[in-house]
Amino acid sequence: MKTPIKAISRIQTGLFAKPNTVGDIVYLQSKHFDDQGKLSAALHPDLSINEISEKHLLRSGDVLFAAKGTKNFAAVYEEHNQPAVASTSFFVIRLFDSKVLPEYLAWLLNNPNTQALLKAQAMGTSIPSISKLVLEDLEIPVPTIEKQKSVIEISKLRWQEKNIYAKLESLRDKKIQTQIINAINQ
């Protein structure tokens, strides 16, 4: 069964603000995420809580979707993160249907097929942008919670496998370079 995202969530745009050097909450921007959409560990509060409406404060389970630029990704805001608001680079997807897990929705939005579909509908030439309407109308498959949990677990294991292979390749390169240098110096 497929359902449009707007049927299971409320989507709002991020907040436009000018960050300061110190503050009470973090102003999340695309630069705070790595290439896999994982949140950087080095975040610093840079907005005053007094300047922010409560509706813009991120809640655990909110899915952030980077809709502007060429690096589109989805990430789940978790309760262990520092209090934060999203910048205008993001749409904040707040699920109200418990039949969809935030991690599953983020995985689905990061899926290469979904990314290609969304990028094909992006507007703008210098800075492509995916519209709120396109995101709201995106129809997604909604399997059982058990299947969603399996998808999430398989995805996590795959990323771990990729990281292990990358580390192994790096160690091989270092070993070979060391052997070459040793052979030259002998």
pLDDT in tens, 93-110: 999 988 999 999 999 999
pLDDT in tens, 47-96: 888 878 888 899 999 999 999 888 899 999 987 778 889 999 999 999 99
Measured between alpha carbons, how far is 108 from 85 in angstroms, rounded to an integer? Answer: 23
The stretch 4-11 carries a mean pLDDT of: 95
pTM: 0.85
Residues 147 and 134 occupy one common structural domain: no
Measured between alpha carbons, how far is 106 from 5 in angstroms, rounded to an integer? Answer: 12
Measured between alpha carbons, how far is 55 from 62 in angstroms, rounded to an integer? Answer: 12
Residues 149 and 121 occupy one common structural domain: no
**For residues 41 and 65, which has the higher predicted lDDT (pLDDT)?**
65
Residues 130 and 149 occupy one common structural domain: no
**For residues 181 and 126, which has the higher predicted lDDT (pLDDT)?**
181
Measured between alpha carbons, how far is 1 from 121 in angstroms, rounded to an integer? Answer: 23
- pLDDT for 41 equals 66
- pLDDT for 171 equals 94
Alpha-helix residue ranges (DSSP H) falling in 1-53:
none
Residues 151 and 182 occupy one common structural domain: yes
Residues 163 and 118 occupy one common structural domain: no
At residue 35 the predicted structure's pLDDT band, cuts being 50, 70 and 90, is low
The stretch 152-180 carries a mean pLDDT of: 92
Enumerate residues 6+ apart whose C-beta is below 8 A from 134.
118, 121
The stretch 20-34 carries a mean pLDDT of: 85
Contact 133, 118 (CB under 8 A): no
At residue 116 the predicted structure's pLDDT band, cuts being 50, 70 and 90, is very high
**For residues 185 and 20, which has the higher predicted lDDT (pLDDT)?**
185
- Cα dihedral 97, 102, 108, 111, rounded to 10, equals 170
Could you tell me the residue range of the domain that residue 97 belongs to? 2-142
Count Cα neighbours of 147 within 13 Å in the Cβ-side half-sphere: 7
Residues 109 and 166 occupy one common structural domain: no
- pLDDT for 75 equals 93
- pLDDT for 134 equals 93
Residue-averaged pLDDT of the chain: 89
Residues 137 and 150 occupy one common structural domain: no
Give the tokens for residue 107: 């995985």
Residues 13 and 101 occupy one common structural domain: yes
Residues 111 and 150 occupy one common structural domain: no
